[in-house]
Amino acid sequence: MIRHAAIVALLLSAAPLAAEEEAPNSLIEDGARMFLRGLMQEMEPALKSLEDLADQMEPALRDFAQTMGPALRQLMDEVEDWSVYEPPVMLPNGDIILRRKVPLKPEPETVPDDGGTEIEL
């Protein structure tokens, strides 16, 4: 019994020393910690609903990537510089038009002459 009391007394006397060795938090650190904890609690419902939305959209996005991936890859290969185009415009019939910001000069028209060579007009 005396041994247990001595161990408890030793531990209790060492506790203040351990507390003194640790640097106390400043008011700024405590305030920042409380602010971030509150911010996390406020954001938790929004993040949860965003996660649920992502779970719902995943199958549709995966299907879109598998279906449209090859066509988009081909389009990316054909267009060298996207910065020369205006944003896409969708017509009422569903067609999508990509217009150049500066139109290309039209190529001159040529017609074959009687000798089989082409003449520029």
C-beta of residue 104 within 8 angstroms of C-beta of residue 111: no
Q: How far from the centroid of its chain's Cα atoms is residue 43's Cα?
A: 18
Q: How far apart are CA 98 and CA 106, in angstroms?
A: 17
Its pTM stands at: 0.34
Residue 59 has pLDDT above 70, yes or no: yes
C-beta of residue 121 within 8 angstroms of C-beta of residue 110: yes
Residue 88 has pLDDT above 70, yes or no: yes
Of 79, 77, 81, the closest CA to residue 69 belongs to 77
The tokens describing 69, both together, are 């991936």
| pLDDT tens readout for residues 37-58 | 999 999 899 888 989 998 899 9
